[in-house]
Chain A
Amino acid sequence: MKDVKVLGPGCKRCVATAEMVRSEADKLGVPVAIEKVTDYAAIARYGIAATPGIVIDGKVVHAGGLPKTEDLARWLAA
């Protein structure tokens, strides 16, 4: 089970990012637990400067804007 956190205050793109992670994980058959982190202080502690951000198993892999599907697949497969 991969632990995925989507960092963002709840804007449209953050929601879209979480949905992209979900659908890509389903497509690849990777089991994931997705958690949305919306608290500003908690987001800041991950050290990113732009939202939405993606953290997979404790490692920040993406920050700012929607991720690319190819990248998502690569991160989830790793």
Chain B
Amino acid sequence: MTDRRPGRSRRHAGKLAWAVLLVVSLLAPLPIMGLAADGDKARFTVLEASTRLVSEVYLLDARIAFDFSPEAIEALDNGVPLTVELQIEVLETSDLLWDGTVATLSQRDSIEYRALADLYLVTNLNTGELSSHTNLGAALAVLGQVVNFPMLDRRLLRVGSSYSARLRARLDVESLPLPLRPMAYLSSRWGLTSDWHEWPLTP
């Protein structure tokens, strides 16, 4: 039987309103948080990536094209250091279940402009290694050249299983100065992230 009592329908309407409100409030921040991920994702591109097994260690060689947006270059030229993060993941692939993560690595490099010397400094934040360049292109070329990066000890992989590795590069918005961050969160011009580049890894 249909209950047509007004009190019950009002209570149902009230519960529905609360549910809608809750969902809307939970979804409301998503556009803000997701804006950085939208926009031109292809500004950073992993051109190639491969691994070599040398002395039981997988070494990563990769080439990445960093195409900074004009806003990012303007910030760089105004003395704002930019941090680029290379995210590397080794996955154990499975046909039945989702892929398991074997290892996660991160390589962070910062690029900054030195006004006195009119140079671009590229610093490997993991090793502290410095390199200076007279122009931005040369600095980005060095930044995008990954050679002999020790990725994984082979003994961590089981024989018989299939593995894959993937790599992506992104501009670390969290490392920007705080006043820039809201704009970086809201503007797609700061959402500089490459797609994942994945390749098989044979133990």
Are A and B interaction partners? no
Q: A residues engaging B (CB < 8 A)?
A: none
Q: B residues engaging A (CB < 8 A)?
A: none
